[in-house]
Amino acid sequence: MEADVTLSKGTQLFSLLATTYNAMLRARKKELEPSGISFRRTTVLWCINIMGRPTTVAEIAQIIDRDHQTTSQLLRRMERERLVERHKGLHDRSPITVVLSPKGKQALRSTFERYEMFDEIASCLSPEELDNVLEYLKKLREKAISQSATYLPLPAPLASKIGM
């Protein structure tokens, strides 16, 4: 007797979302190749810029969905590359904050000059279909977040600018 391996609709949805995300990520990485800045670094530069203020390592870790130590290591490398500047807090226990350096601002501009891939991919949908997909994904994200006790809401400046 064969096992029933039919995927539930929820599992099909998860698989489709994962493969779509991975395909779009590969397309964006290919788009970024001429800039010489990795997708992860671009994401960090973007989130610091969007926050519009010195940003803590913890906030950046949350936004890029990496643990604090991994994020700290990435920021140290980015500091050595002169993409960001890290500043110690005024008091002993104050968190380290990060700002874009002039070189980081230029790198961010150069990576966003090449920011057409996502819109190109989304162009296969009508404006109404795209609005519907965005609305459905927001519902799914909220439900998924409610199932995860460890997920913290994004900082308000970021959430409002990206429509969350």
Domain ranges of the chain: 32-115, 116-164
% pLDDT > 90, the chain = 57
Stated as kind and residue range, the H or E segment containing 13 is: helix 9-32
Q: 54 vs 154, which has greater pLDDT?
A: 54
pLDDT digits (tens, 9 = 90+) for 36-86: 899 999 999 998 998 889 999 988 998 888 889 999 999 999 999 999 999
Mean pLDDT of 156-164: 64
**Confidence grade of residue 150 (pLDDT, cut at 50, 70, 90):** low
Give just the sign of the alpha carbon dihedral 161, 114, 49, 59. positive
- Give the pLDDT confidence score for residue 3 in this predicted structure: 67
- Give the pLDDT confidence score for residue 152 in this predicted structure: 64
| Residue 21 C-alpha from the chain's centroid | 12
CATH tag, 32-115: 1.10.10.10
Give just the sign of the alpha carbon dihedral 6, 141, 46, 100. negative
